[in-house]
Amino acid sequence: MKADWIAVDWGTSNLRAWGMDAGGAVLAEAVSEDGMGGLEPGGFEPALLELVEPWLGPGVTDVIACGMVGARQGWVEAPYAKVPVAALGDGLTLAPVRDGRLRVQILSGISQDNPADVMRGEETQIAGYLAEQPKYSGVIVLPGTHTKWVQIADGEIFHFGTFMTGELYALLSRQSVLRHSVAQGGGAAFVEAFEAAMARPEALAARLFGLRAEHLLAGTDKAVLGARLSGMLLGLEFAAARPYWLGQQVVLMAAEPLLGLYREAMGVVGLMPEVAEPDACVLAGLRAARLAGLEGKGVT
């Protein structure tokens, strides 16, 4: 199989590539654990070639990539485009290559000055959604380690906020004293903790240690306490994100298990989000960049 072009989603932990035909159909797909976080500066081209070399022909094959591959620690830094801006940003940045069969171009990230914030990768998912729904105005929520709440207006990214809820959960459940007391769980305990955190977010620090005390004194099941931890942290996020979701149309771009958690939380506050599939959106965003005919600029 020889690809007409190659789409790449390159994050911190994983590298995902699709071999595409001229019409944008997927011919092949491959995944590796060669994420940006584990590569030295000279390791990006070999990591990509290991995955996609069987798809290359004798000529030059275009590669359009998004994600952390364009970060300062990535293959080449793709400058941030400032909001308000189209989801495809300021275009593409050429990456230096040794293999003449490759022409690698990386989509820019998006930045915001006030309050200071950045995103890389999510903007491509948003571009994919907007390629199908160009008139959408509202909020797109992209749960993850660092969840993004993004306000869309007139087909552009107008404003966004990043919430470190996923990373906080990982740190507290794996590296704090709570690691002895919590396990993954859901149900009524999640909703109760979510509502309590929404009502009094300032009490979070005290309530967190209460999970440890309850396990020691009452022997409460770790899954119940884990559900409460999730609920507390999501309640804190939703309290701060109220200006994004209150009275807004919301699209939730997530896969399980985060999809279930965020849908449940949104139901508590009266939201009925549209659900969009993240992988389909990122691929649609890379297709949109290809169809837009954006030209790569600069080689660092």
pLDDT number for residue 8: 98
b/e string for 244-272 if b means 16 or more Cβ within 10 A?
bbeeeebbbbbeeebbebbebbbebbebe
Instruction: At 252, list the tokens.
Output: 């939730």
- pLDDT mean over 37-54: 94
Instruction: At 75, list the tokens.
Output: 């293959």
Cα dihedral sign, 215-221-227-230: positive
Q: Tens of pLDDT along 252-285?
A: 999 999 999 999 999 999 999 999 999 999 999 9
Instruction: At 54, list the tokens.
Output: 């069987």
pLDDT number for residue 213: 92
pLDDT band (50, 70, 90) for residue 300: very low
Query: Residue 66: pLDDT above 70?
Result: yes
pLDDT number for residue 296: 62
pLDDT band (50, 70, 90) for residue 185: confident
Amino acid at residue number 273: P
What is the DSSP code (8-state) at residue 186?
A: -
pLDDT number for residue 184: 84
User: What is the three-class DSSP state of 42?
Assistant: helix
What's the CA gap between 240 and 204, in Å, rounded?
A: 13
Domain ranges of the chain: 5-133
Strand (E) positions, the chain?
5-10, 15-20, 26-32, 61-67, 81-82, 85-86, 92-94, 102-107, 110-112, 117-119, 138-142, 147-153, 156-163, 250-253, 274-276, 296-299
pLDDT number for residue 187: 83
User: What is the three-class DSSP state of 147?
Assistant: strand
- pLDDT mean over 174-203: 92
Q: Tens of pLDDT along 17-42?
A: 999 999 999 999 999 999 999 999 89
Query: Residue 226: pLDDT above 50?
Result: yes
Instruction: Give backbone dihedrals phi and psi of 293, rounded to 5 degrees, phi first.
Output: 65, 30
5-133 folds as Nucleotidyltransferase; domain 5 (3.30.420)
Averaged confidence pLDDT in the chain: 93
pLDDT number for residue 41: 84
Tell me what percent of the residues of the chain surpass a pLDDT of 70. 98
Residue 120 CB partners (closer than 8 Å, separation 6+)? 66, 67, 68, 70, 71, 109, 110
Query: Residue 122: pLDDT above 70?
Result: yes
Query: Residue 186: pLDDT above 90?
Result: no
Query: Residue 299: pLDDT above 70?
Result: no
Identify any residues that bridge with 138 across adjacent strands, giving them in sequence order. 152
Cis peptide before 84 (omega within 30 of 0): yes
pLDDT number for residue 298: 55
pLDDT number for residue 292: 84
